[in-house]
Amino acid sequence: MPESKSRNKKKATPKAAKAEAKVALPGEAVNPRWLAPVMVGLMVLGLAWIVTYYLTSADLALPIPPIGQWNLAVGFGLIIVGFGLTTRWR
């Protein structure tokens, strides 16, 4: 009686090293190095500006006393510019 052929198990192929650095293709956009720190920095600075104004508005009205309530507009403006930079993130 003829013998049946045994199955050949496929050998596991070694996967490519995952430590490879991603290389940008010529048409592919890359984030500039300054984008993330500036984006986060503006949002944090705006938040700190508003918090400083609220904590000192009764006595000193810091950060800039002569502009009064416009300190809120400056703080929100910094936050909005920070969020605006998020649209450049790729």
**Helix residue ranges, H only, 1-90:** 35-56, 70-85
Residue 44 located in a structural domain = yes
- Environment class of 45 (CB within 10 Å of its CB; exposed 0-12, middle 13-18, buried 19+): middle
Residue 9 located in a structural domain = no
What is the tens place of the pLDDT at every residue in 34-74? 999 999 999 999 999 999 999 998 888 788 888 988 999 99
Least confident of 11-20, 26-35, 66-75, 79-88: 11-20
Residue 46 located in a structural domain = yes
Sign of the CA dihedral 30, 33, 35, 39?
positive
Residue 55 located in a structural domain = yes
pLDDT, residue 77, reads: 98
The residue range of the domain holding 73 is 35-88
Residue 61 located in a structural domain = yes
pLDDT, residue 21, reads: 63
Report the domain count for the chain: 1
pLDDT, residue 51, reads: 94
Residue 72 located in a structural domain = yes
d(CA 43, CA 31): 18
pLDDT, residue 19, reads: 57
